[in-house]
Structure 1
Amino acid sequence: MVVRPAMLYGAECWPLKEKHNTKLSVAEMRMLQVVEWFGHIKRRPCDDPVRRVEVLDLTYVKKGRGRPKKTWLENIRNDLSLLDLNENLTFNRTQWRKRIHVADPT
């Protein structure tokens, strides 16, 4: 995945133990599961409760100070652009799986 180089930045300064390797693998798997879950959600019907949350209007919620928080969908779209994926690809399940399940480079 794309995030491995970012997570390993500066790793030459610390010894890589098995617990570090396990934590890196767990983090990568969680990120992959989020992208897989997004594909599952996009294939659901538009009137499904999970899909209705996408268009939920939260204008009545009081906003705090500072930069607005990124939404889940904004984070997913950012991840998709990093992985060079398109949202429309989610509707073709076989192509989606081929694109998100990449071989481990190590």
Structure 2
Amino acid sequence: MPIKLKGLIYKSVIRPVLAYGSETWAVTKRHVNSIHVAEMKMLRWMCGVTRLDKIRNEYVRGSLSVRDIADKLQENRLRWFGHVKRRPPEYIGNRTLNLNIPGRRKRGRPKLRWLSVVKNDMAGCELEEEDVQDRAKWKRKSRKADPVARRDRR
């Protein structure tokens, strides 16, 4: 089977299974690292190389035409955030995003929250919360993983 076809199968079958439900994860570096390791094991297995062959990850990804799964996770989170923010304000998702719970937090470092992960993603893509209403701009700036090749428009 050609290597490019293996990459297409990976992107359409395996990666969605790895990223299932990732829209709502408060992803830490540890989570991303474990998913990255699992992904690279699969990609290397598909290419027929091992770590002992000392072939860099970038080369394996390039031969399969696959971007990093962290980019896809970020894209999924931003896509879901856009869907929720475009809904009416009385939608349960919007009400929970703006929910403030009274009381004090526990001592120590605060737990990582989904909204703070999304805010970091938005800063990385140079997006503002007001950009949500402009679907074309939101999609153009938030798509990082496997961007679709643009056709020449005449």
The TM-score range, normalised by the shorter chain, is 0.5 to 0.7
Change (3 A) 1:33 1:52: same
Aligned ranges 1:1-106 → 2 under 5 Å: 15-16=55-56, 21=61, 25-60=68-103, 63-102=105-144
Task: Give unpaired runs (5+ residues) of structure 2.
Answer: 1-32, 34-53, 148-154
Percent sequence identity over aligned pairs? 31
Instruction: List per-residue Cα deviations over 1:65-95 (Å, max 9, x = no partner).
Output: 3111232222211211121111111101122
- TM-score using structure 2 length: 0.48
Q: Which runs of 4+ in 1 moved over 4 A?
A: 20-24, 102-105
Give 1:80's aligned amino acid: M
Give 1:63's aligned amino acid: R
Larger Rg: 2
- TM-score using structure 1 length: 0.66
Change (3 A) 1:37 1:17: same
